[in-house]
Chain A
Amino acid sequence: MSEMMVRLKSRNNLIVTQMVVTGLTVIVGMIFGIIMLLVQGGMIEAMPATFYQFLTIHGTFMIGAAALAATAIMWYFLSHYVELSKKILKINLVLFIIAAVMVTVGTFSFEYAGAWTFLYPLPALSASAWGTIGALFYLIGMLVMGVGFLLLFIDSGRAIIKKYGSLGKGLGWDVIIGKKAEKDAPPPAVVASTMVTIVNTTALLSGSTVLIMNIINVINPAFTFNPLLAKNLTYAFGHIFANATIYMGVIVVYELLARYTKRPWNSSRVFLVFWTMSTFFTLLVYPHHLLMDSVMPRWMLIMGQVLSYANGLPVLVVTAYGALMIVYKSGIKWDMASGLAYLSMLGWTIGVIPAIVDSAIVVNHVMHNTKWVPGHFHMYMGLGVIAMTFSFMYFLAKNDNGLKETMVDKTAFFMYMFGLIGVSGSFLTSGAISTPRRFATHLPEWMGPAQFGAVAGILVVIAITIFVIHFIRYISVRNKGNIGSDYYDKKLA
């Protein structure tokens, strides 16, 4: 093996480890999701307190896993263009695992159940449902996770600035204003990574501020803070961080389709403009979580509403359009990776529609805090980001070893698709009949959709287990054989 190959192998090893951790976290998280639906559907008994512990673990693990997977995707492809630090990638994974353990201990051993949004002053004011220790385990765990991701984005920012000159140039601003030709524009993977670097650094800084604030308040409840500012910071963190996963995940769509169709996916000027728009919108739309807080400045709420319409759309449009164009008459061979990449675009597109509906203030008055909300984000997280994740896994398996996909994988693909549409559909239905979200106990007339969702959820977990098994098979094969048939890697080597 050449030196280059050794380097590539060690890089891929890290990415593979990270994806395995993700896959397992997703499975565990989904099982808790199913249990919650079973409880809500009245099919099994559980104390409400237990339900809220599950809700906390599910939300935290899922968002965490989605972020971990998405950063792996971003890292893998971005490292083809700029020089990233493997050490930082490793540190992030280690911190993530430590954080996951802390969160689990806080939730299960010390009964913290304040949900992944840890909205002030809930961590401290639990009516004795949990104590200081549980809250501290959870909050400090989240802080540890934040440290890892912050390091990662500092590194990507550093690398992009080093290569392209500034983050603005990473977004292609000099191409937009015409100082540079379109053909010299940064590739889509770099544009997306720059965007995410900007928004996630912001999110993590506001998140860490509000986390430490919560920690102070938990330790000494005499120190109180302005709850409205706390809520703003919390959702600036939560919204952006969750939302950014899809902007990292989408990199696999760009890179994969370019490879499969052997056509380059270049950044056009429109593409760059739209990504820049989404960068700003993503930073500004979080007030849509505060539409019920009438004390918020009115202009912020209106901004939250209006920009929510526009938030994801620019990127979605250029990406969906680009994806259609690149495939058109390309003679692409469909397999699991490209199929999942396409499915993710579908999930993203359908998921955005109910989200946009809900961010209208009039609709929000009705739908706020109903299950409509998990309905839309399960669609674009579950069918969007998670599909991108597994698309990436199948891509790695195929590119590295040409591991064969079987009928089982194909069946799993459809199980996954219909299962997740079922889960989201059941949430949306619940929302439409005004079932509140985050209620451990449902009235009898609310139970039907929850029961249906639980069954659909089981399908999803089976499908995802099959995906993960395929990936683990690839690892065992790859340890024997050699690696690196990635077209772009070959060029590097």
Chain B
Amino acid sequence: MKQTKLGILLYVILIIPPITTYMESIMLVHMLIQFPLLILAGWLIGEWVLERWPYHFLKWDANGIAGIILVIFITTYWMFPRAMDESLTIWHIELFKFISLPLVGILLRNSWRKLTIIGRSFVFLNYLSMFGLMGWFYIDSPVQICNNYLEIEQQMLGWGFVVITGIMIVYVLQKCFISGTKSNVNQI
């Protein structure tokens, strides 16, 4: 249960008010650091959750598809600038954030290994193009999208997305072109 403890620790750190406030004061950190850390915390805690309720996960999400769809819905919701904006001003949206994103982590931990390689690649590639689009969206937007963040911050966030997309592309390329090991399989 080492991971679970780590996860709880991370979660607790993230909800310490000054830390929360600080992270949320910078758009880039809010979306590209706080969100992923919340997901990571959930993923770590997932170790315990999956052990505690294995049958539920088996029953409700045998092939990983149900879980991943939920993951996609929640993360897509959080990619809307408006959602992020509201989390700063409406307390129950903020609460929802601190519940839903760790949930994404838990679900991801369960679903990802159950998905077939086709499913995983499909999800991955979709996020790749979605992040690329987000980068474009935030960099290019002619208006200030959020009440709480300036346009310049939007653009920083956009570049953050572009960097992530770039890293994902490099990852795909090395996966497809380099990591092959079985070179001499030559059956007909």
B residues near A167, Cβ cutoff 8 Å: 176-177
Chain A residues whose C-beta falls within 8 Å of the C-beta of B125 in the assembled complex = 150, 154, 201, 205
Q: Are B118 and A209 in contact (CB under 8 A)?
A: no
Interface-lining segment among B8-16, B17-25, B137-145: B137-145
A338 in the interface (beta carbon within 8 A): no
> B96-124: which residues lie under 8 A (CB-CB) from chain A?
117-118, 121-122
Contact mask A201-216 → B, CB, 8 Å, 1/0?
1000110110011001
CB neighbours (8 Å) of A151 from chain B are: 118, 122
B118 in complex: contacting residue of A155, A164, A174, A223, CB < 8 Å: A155
Judge whether A45 is part of the interface by a CB distance below 8 angstroms. Answer: no
B185 beta carbon closer than 8 Å to chain A: yes
User: What's the count of A-B pairs with C-beta under 8 Å?
Assistant: 81
| A161 and B176 form a contact (CB under 8 A) | yes
Whether A168 pairs with B122 at a CB distance below 8 angstroms is: no
Which residue from A164, A165, A168, A213 sits with its C-beta under 8 Å from B133?
A: A213
Q: What separation, in Å, do the CA atoms of A198 and B183 have in the docked complex?
A: 19
Which A residues lie within 8 Å of B188 (CB)?
A: 81, 491
Inside 8 A of A169's CB, which chain B residues have their CB?
180, 183
Query: Interface 1/0s, chain B 173-186, versus A by CB < 8 A?
Result: 00011111111011
Does A465 make an interface contact (CB < 8 A)?
no
When each residue 124-165 of chain A gets 1 if its CB lies under 8 Å from chain B and 0 otherwise, what string results? Answer: 000000000000000000000000001100110110010111
Shortest distance from the beta carbon of A406 to any chain B beta carbon, whole Å: 36
Give every chain A residue within 8 A of B132 (Cβ-Cβ). Answer: 205, 209
Min CB distance A184 to B, Å, is 6
Asked whether any CB of chain B lies closer than 8 Å to the CB of A229, the reply is: yes
Please state if B183 and A225 are interface contacts (CB–CB under 8 Å): no
Rounded to whole angstroms, the CA-CA distance of A92 and B185 in the bound complex is: 29
- Give every chain B residue within 8 A of A198 (Cβ-Cβ): 176
Complex Cα–Cα for A174 and B177 (A): 12
Which residues from chain A contact B122 at a C-beta distance below 8 Å? Answer: 150-151, 154
Q: Which of A166, A201, A222 has the most CB of B within 10 A?
A: A166
Would you call A226 and B183 a contact (CB within 8 A)? no
Which residue of B is nearest A167, CB measured? B176
Q: How far is the CB of B24 from chain A (nearest CB, A)?
A: 24
> How far is B146's CA from A49's CA once the two chains are assembled, in angstroms?
39
- Are B183 and A212 in contact, with the CB atoms below 8 A? no
A180 to B183: give the CA distance in the assembly, Å: 9
Q: Is the CB of B140 within 8 A of A224?
A: yes
**Count of chain B residues near A, Cβ 8 A:** 28
Q: How far is the CA of A198 from the CA of B132 in the complex (A)?
A: 19
Interchain CA distance A213-B132 in the complex, whole Å:
11
Evaluate whether A224 and B136 lie within 8 angstroms (CB atoms) in the complex, with A164-B180, A165-B185, A169-B183 already known: no
Complex Cα distance, B82 from A216, in Å, reads 14
Alpha-carbon gap, A88 to B177, bound state (A): 23
In the complex, the answer to whether A226 meets B140 with C-beta atoms within 8 Å is yes
The verdict on A399 contacting chain B, using a C-beta distance below 8 Å, is no
CB <8 Å contact, B129 and A213: no
**Residue B128 interfacial (CB < 8 Å):** yes
Measured in the bound complex, the distance between the Cα atoms of B179 and A491 in whole Å is 32
Taking the nearest CB of chain A, how far is it from the CB of B63, in angstroms?
12
Query: Any chain B CB within 8 A of the CB of A85?
Result: yes
Q: Is the CB of A166 within 8 A of B180?
A: yes
Q: Which residue of B lies closest to A183 (CB)?
A: B186
The docked-state distance in angstroms from the alpha carbon of A201 to that of B140 is 25
CA–CA, A435 to B50, complex, Å?
67
> Could you tell me if A213 and B182 are in contact, using CB atoms closer than 8 angstroms?
no
- Considering only CB atoms, which chain A residue lies closest to B187 in the complex? A163
Interface residues of B (CB under 8 A from A): 117-118, 121-122, 125-126, 128-130, 132-133, 136-137, 140-143, 176-183, 185-186, 188
8 tightest Cβ-Cβ pairs between the two chains A and B: A166-B180, A165-B180, A209-B129, A167-B176, A154-B121, A205-B129, A168-B177, A165-B183
24 contacts between A and B (CB under 8 A): A85-B118, A88-B118, A150-B125, A151-B122, A154-B118, A155-B118, A164-B180, A166-B177, A166-B179, A166-B180, A167-B177, A168-B177, A169-B183, A180-B183, A205-B125, A205-B128, A205-B132, A212-B129, A213-B137, A223-B137, A223-B141, A224-B141, A226-B136, A229-B136
B-binding residues in A (CB < 8 A)? 81, 85, 88, 150-151, 154-155, 157-158, 161, 163-169, 174, 180, 184, 198, 201, 205-206, 208-209, 212-213, 216, 222-226, 229, 491
Known contacts A166-B177, A224-B140, A226-B136, then 5 further A-B pairs from the complex at CB < 8 Å, ordered by chain A residue: A184-B186, A208-B126, A209-B132, A212-B130, A223-B143
